[in-house]
Amino acid sequence: MSAEGISRAARLRSLLADHTVVMPGAFNALTARAIERAGFEALYLSGAALANSLLGMPDIGLTTLTEAVEHAARCAAVTSVPILVDADTGFGGPENVARCVQEFERAGVSGLHLEDQEFPKRCGHLSGKTLVPTEAFCEKLAAARAARRDPDFLIIARTDARGVTSYDDAVARAQAYVRAGADMIFPEALESREELERFARDVPVPLLANMTEFGRTPYLSVDEFASLGYRIVIFPVTLQRIAMKAVCDALTALKAQRTQRELLSNMQTRQELYELLEYNPEAARAWTPRADRE
Residues marked active site are found at 44, 59, 86, 88, 113, 115, 123, 158, 188, 210
Helix axis angle, 238-257 to 29-37, nearest 10°: 110
- Closest of 102, 49, 109, 121 to residue 81, by C-alpha: 109
- DSSP per-residue string spanning 99-122: HHHHHHHHHT-SEEEEE-BPSSP-
Q: How many residues does the chain have?
A: 294
HSE of 110, CA atoms in CB hemisphere, 13 A: 27
- Cα-Cα-Cα-Cα torsion 96, 21, 186, 241, nearest 10 degrees, comes to -80
Give 100's contacts (C-beta < 8 A, 6+ positions apart). Answer: 65, 87, 90, 91, 112, 144
**Cα distance between residue 42 and residue 80, in whole Å:** 9
